[in-house]
Structure 1
């Protein structure tokens, strides 16, 4: 967004105001709507209510993003300090969490008592797992911040989706290794999402445990110690699932496991999108160059950014991880996605469509020299040859 509006000569400049200030409420409202849909299903028994939230995620948001297009305006730098200090934006992030937990509990109540058809079960899993998957983005926003209470809430938010190790791996693993072959959360060009999913899930878990075991060793403590933050995070899930099993019966544990897997897969398909094919070059000393705004795919599509705390302005996030969502910037030099995440994840589920959309964009980003890209080893030579610049006759 451009600097302060011009005013008549001699008149004081108006302070900049965020034009989306109240639109950011869409994110906690999304979590509220999940709980409300589940309550309406309990009241009416209509399966429609279990499919409404997935319909919004996979249908309405991509359509509105396509209609509105991207908005690449940035807040003026003179206003960023005030914008980041405004606790209103922090309260919006925190407001998501109670509705997320309410939706999880209501989902268990439905799973335990309502007679569900196969379509009903799928809708229930997509609704509860969907909102817990989106909640990982809430945890992501909180987990990067300095106040201890925000980082603690980040791990609480990950409990329903049973993905507490993400807090450790993302902050102390992914951000160090992003856009390198060593990062399990950075997808390689030519690698389908379905190949990426088991690699990133297992690789992220293993990396988180290795990071935390190393931290324990530096303190002279064994890995299996109560101070281990991975174990603390997993314990939160055990306590939550145990309480829900006591409240609704042990049969909800299978439902919780399935919705958690789906929710975690939403995180991982976003990881797949965010760095696909991008690679940080090696310097003369053998280390990778510092991460900058060219090492993440960027999108400034309006509606999906409002729901996701501008996660899609991912280039700025990786270059400046502590910057709060309301101040994240669009950079023209960042590689740009053709749409927001809601549409791109649908493409990622269909590898031929994904490769057709994204492989030419990776090649264009590197000027046709795919030796500079992060390539799937089994397809490396074929991709280099396919996109090699040809001499004009």
Structure 2
């Protein structure tokens, strides 16, 4: 595409720049169509008598997230390209990019409905299956839909930061599947205010494992969202127990959706809905875990935390995950400009970088010894060896300080 240095003057010198990822962004819709794509493959494998292999495809979600994307991240490597300043306004206003996020939502719900049918159907002979799905196939499909729901939370994240009412509503609709609608409140008005501080439930601490972080962030995000909404409504002289509470309305949307699905497909669907929701929001929290691990905003002389800066977010610029997660890995730029659309987010010099893409790092986060071996030295190096500047897990603080030769009295 061509853009003018000054759009208001036709005689301005033209600057030619093309977004080489313009049509790559279509790949962002691939995960949400993966179950549809798997069906003819399942049929073909069953037709030729390879049905033991076809069972693997019901686990397409975890295969995609934990195997294929990390492999492609390593193969294709970093992105390495930022849009030039003169192209930013044009990119922001190009509706093609936002339409791709809109398209995600009907595909998400189409996949959800398809999965509900496949899990509960008594006769799947049209797929070459004798009777219904087996137990492990049902669980694999529910987990796959949960992985899709987790990616859907990222789409909701992109939409929820925008100023248009339509996009904010689409964000809430996207979150309904995973029963995590309060994320819309807590993330925008909680996390972005308290990021990289001990008070933020979505910022993980040095020495904190993912399995310790998970209950803290899940419960803390719920409490934070409720507190934020309660405070807002009190200022308006209204009760928190009203339909003007956006946390309550988000949960009601999820309850209504689940009630309709159970009404259509039967009560036996409910455990699978619960499973996919847990998988979905756990995937989100795994991303939260790695985005700010150990990073800390320091306090100024006034006792307030310094403003969020690039050094308070872990970044990655691996192109495959960038495409599939709408540049979420360019996290420092997102915190600096929360309403900026994904296609214009940039990599920042000086921001700490992860050794690989988010998909690879999520897998490491599940194994604390490996995570610590990879990430603890990077946190220490980020603070030039001064571990006291890190956001340290309180229960392990004394042990961690002693490990690095620091005593509480020396601080």
The TM-score bracket by the shorter chain reads over 0.9
Which residue is equivalent to 2:94?
A: 86
Question: In structure 2, how many angstroms separate the alpha carbons of the residues matched to 1:38 and 1:189?
Answer: 43
| CA-CA distance at 1:37 after TM superposition | 2.7
Shift of 1:142: 0.2
Contact 1:97 1:157 in 2 (8 A): yes
Per the alignment, in what secondary structure is the counterpart of residue 161 of structure 1?
A: coil
Q: How has the CA–CA distance of structure 1 residues 254 and 39 changed in structure 2, closer, same or farther, with 3 Å as cutoff?
A: farther
SS in structure 2 of the partner of residue 74 of structure 1? coil
Report what 1:199 is aligned to.
216
C-alpha displacement at 1:193, in angstroms?
A: 0.2
Superposition pairs of residues 1-393 of structure 1, within 5 angstroms: 13-37=14-38, 46-113=54-121, 115-388=132-405
Alpha-carbon distance, 1:38 to partner: 5.3
Deviation at 1:90?
0.3
Contact 1:29 1:96 in 2 (8 A): no
**Paired residue for 1:9?**
none
Q: Deviations over 1:256-313 (max 9, x none)?
A: 0111001000000000000000000011111100111110000000101100000000
The 1-side partners of 2:390 and 2:206 are apart by 8
Contact 2:143 2:275 in 1 (8 A): no
- Give the Cα–Cα distance (whole angstroms) in 1 for the partners of residues 395 and 143 of structure 2: 34
Match of 2:127 in 1: none
Note the C-alpha offset of 1:388.
Answer: 5.0
Mapped to 2, the partners of 1:218 and 1:42 lie a distance apart of: 58
**Distance across 2 between alignment mates of 1:245 and 1:362:** 46
Q: CA deviation at 1:362?
A: 0.3
Q: What secondary structure does 1:90 align onto?
A: helix
Partner secondary structure for residue 36 of structure 1: helix
Give the unaligned 5+ runs of structure 1. 5-11
Shift of 1:103: 1.1
Q: Does the CA-based 8 Å contact 2:139-2:272 persist in structure 1?
A: no
**How far did residue 384 of structure 1 move?**
2.7
Q: Which range moved further: 75-84 or 53-62?
A: 53-62
Deviation of the 1:53 alpha carbon: 3.3
- The alpha-carbon deviation at position 125 of structure 1 amounts to 2.1
Is the 8 Å Cα contact of residues 370 and 388 (structure 1) preserved in structure 2? no
Query: How many angstroms apart in 2 are the aligned matches of 1:341 and 1:292?
Result: 20
Q: Could you list the per-position Cα deviations for residues 132-157 of structure 1 after superposition, in whole angstroms to 9, with x for gaps in the alignment? A: 11000000000001111101110000
CA 1:246/1:337 → structure 2, altered by over 3 Å: closer, same or farther? same
Deviation at 1:127, TM superposition (A): 1.0
Name the CA shift for 1:266/1:39 in 2 (closer, same or farther; >3 Å).
Answer: farther
Residue 322 of structure 1 and its aligned partner are, at CA, apart by 1.1
Residue 246 (structure 1) shift: 1.2
Separation of aligned partners in 2, 1:281 and 1:219: 33
CA distance in 1, matches of 2:290, 2:42: 33
Question: Is there any run of 5+ residues in structure 2 with no aligned partner, and where?
Answer: 6-12, 47-53, 123-131, 407-411
1:22-57 deviation digits (Å, cap 9, x = unpaired): 000111232122333357658977323312332121
TM-score (norm 2): 0.89
The 1:256/1:44 distance shift into structure 2, 3 A limit, reads farther
